Structure 1
């Protein structure tokens, strides 16, 4: 069970789905939207995810050209989730919004070439300088084989 919310509690979510993938992203958009060196994302199926409260969306094309929609609380500004046009039916939760951040373990780091020099990247997990060939879909496929 994953549960989380924004800082003020207006936006809340819950899912019983297991994460498809969890990882750190050091791309410029993730750095700027998080206010730190990276975002930690938890990809889950949209089916079974319940969310309460209104969110404001900010849409922007990713490096790939896919449209990323970032959902945040319009009251406190906390980023809560995103969607990516390449991953229909998936929601990418911000691990920072989880009530129990230890419920997930990052499996990889992407766009590590864009990390600031002071960022501590866990070299015991797969680290990709950009997005891995085939993107997260490829990683998910390899895990299920």
Structure 2
């Protein structure tokens, strides 16, 4: 993938104070249904693109809040301290990865979910896509 095709994965927060631009394609794209992700997203799941941490350039001040994810291990969630947009997830169980919330992409249509993770934690009213692989908990590392 060339740099031009990666621009579809660029994005930022609501106020523009934080911007990011990956230098490599995502390792995985999916919806996380764990209770922690549902709570932080305010929806039935957190749509997330997972990248190698070193492949994402972040500009701006990001604040992090740590909580316990569906895995039972800590996850650091990055947000803009100005507008509150939740942008990133840094799960301790995958130290070399960063999750980027699909809704913060400049072009959210670039998000193409391949998996549903922590599907066993999904709300009973949640309807998952028929086209995604389902994992009761976390999938094997990409």
Place the TM-score, normalised by the shorter chain, in its bin: 0.7 to 0.9
Alpha-carbon distance, 1:90 to partner = 1.5
Q: 1:40 is matched with which residue: 43, 47, 60? A: 47
Alpha-carbon distance, 1:85 to partner = 1.3
Alpha-carbon distance, 1:111 to partner = 2.0
Alpha-carbon distance, 1:108 to partner = 0.9
Q: Which residue of 2 aligns with 1:77?
A: 84
Correspondence list, 1:54-93, <5 A:
54-93=61-100
TM-score by length of structure 1 reads 0.85
- After TM superposition, the structure 1 stretch with the greater mean CA deviation from structure 2, 50-59 or 107-116, is 107-116
Q: 1:105 is matched with which residue: 105, 109, 112? A: 112
1:131 counterpart = 2:137: yes
Alpha-carbon distance, 1:29 to partner = 0.6
Q: Which residue of 1 aligns with 2:3?
A: none
Change (3 A) 1:79 1:105: same
Change (3 A) 1:109 1:30: same
Change (3 A) 1:124 1:31: same
Q: Which residue of 2 aligns with 1:121?
A: 128
Q: Which residue of 1 aligns with 2:29?
A: 22
TM-score by length of structure 2 reads 0.87
Say how many residue pairs are matched: 135
- Answer yes or no: is the 8 Å Cα contact 2:90–2:97 preserved in 1: yes
Aligned-partner Cα distance in 2 for 1:57–1:12: 15
Q: Which runs of 5+ in 1 are unaligned?
A: 141-145
Aligned-partner Cα distance in 2 for 1:95–1:107: 13
Aligned-partner Cα distance in 2 for 1:55–1:24: 23
Q: Which runs of 5+ in 2 are unaligned?
A: 1-5
RMSD: 1.5
- After TM superposition, the structure 1 stretch with the greater mean CA deviation from structure 2, 46-55 or 56-65, is 56-65
